Structure 1
Amino acid sequence: MKKQKKDPLYKSFGYAFAGIFAVVTKERNMKIHCVAMVCVVIAGFVFHITPVEWCICLTLFGLVMALEMVNTAVEAVVDLVTKERRPLAKLAKDAAAGAVLIAAIMAAIAGMIIFIPKLLESLSI
């Protein structure tokens, strides 16, 4: 059995960036996540959030966006395998979408915990 030659590391990064670009340009929900991220970054600068708060926000951006990409991949694979409505296909798609939803809800709650006190403080001046 012949050993398969691996692509150079730079090509692996190229494939990854191509995947990110494809999801950002083609998936509505990823565009929504990107808009939310930009809004949070602007709010972070306006309210001078701490380095720890920045780390929390960045981690949550990464989690939600990575899960959105996994969701897109699951949907693409399921669609590739079958066009029929099948219970397992529905479960795979729904579970992947649910994972994104849970992460997004938790990110929104964490964002409220970080930003609402800062907003209230700025309004009371």
Structure 2
Amino acid sequence: MGFLSALRFAWYGLRDTFKTERNFRIQSAFAILALIMGLLLKIDLNEWLWIGVSIFLVLAAELFNTALEALTNLVSPTWHPLAKKAKDAAASAVLLLAVFSIICGIIIFLPKLVQVIKHFNSVT
């Protein structure tokens, strides 16, 4: 398989996951919100790196979770405790990274938002 074919398949995976997975769309919306806030609050390069890592880790984890769920459903169409364990563990990985991202967002954005609010209150 050539490089362009691999890119095309990767694009199909992103597109299909965005179309079919509500959580991926929600996480993408939060990623866009974080990017907009970063631009508005003029975060520095180090802060951009943390926000970027957070966004990509959560979205990649959700893609892995989606892949694992699809594969689990294929090989175990009926309920099985090991299938449940696999799905729950993958969902937990996404949750842990989402919490990490929220913590990063709070550390980066909260002090800047407090400064904006203080400045706005002092002007009015």
TM-score (norm 1): 0.93
Amino acid at match of 1:31: R
CA RMSD after TM alignment: 0.6
User: 1:81-111: CA deviations, max 9, x gaps?
Assistant: 1121111000000000000000001100110
Where structure 2 has 5 or more consecutive residues not aligned to the other structure, the ranges are 120-124
Amino acid at match of 2:61: L
1:15 aligns with 2:9: yes
What CA distance in whole angstroms lies between the structure 1 residues aligned with 2:103 and 2:50? 12
What CA distance in whole angstroms lies between the structure 1 residues aligned with 2:84 and 2:116? 46
Show the counterpart of 2:58: 64
1:55 aligns with 2:83: no
Amino acid at match of 1:124: K
Name whichever structure is richer in helix by fraction.
2
Show the counterpart of 2:84: 90
Show the counterpart of 1:26: 20
Query: How many matched pairs?
Result: 119
Q: Determine which structure has greater relative contact order: mean sequence separation of CA pairs < 8 Å that are 6+ residues apart, divided by chain length.
A: 2
What CA distance in whole angstroms lies between the structure 2 residues aligned with 1:14 and 1:22? 12
Identity over aligned pairs, percent: 37
Show the counterpart of 1:115: 109
What CA distance in whole angstroms lies between the structure 1 residues aligned with 2:47 and 2:63? 24
**SS of 2:63 mapped into structure 1:** helix
Structure 1 runs of 4+ with >3 Å offset? none
Where structure 1 has 5 or more consecutive residues not aligned to the other structure, the ranges are 1-6
Show the counterpart of 2:122: none
What CA distance in whole angstroms lies between the structure 2 residues aligned with 1:115 and 1:68? 24
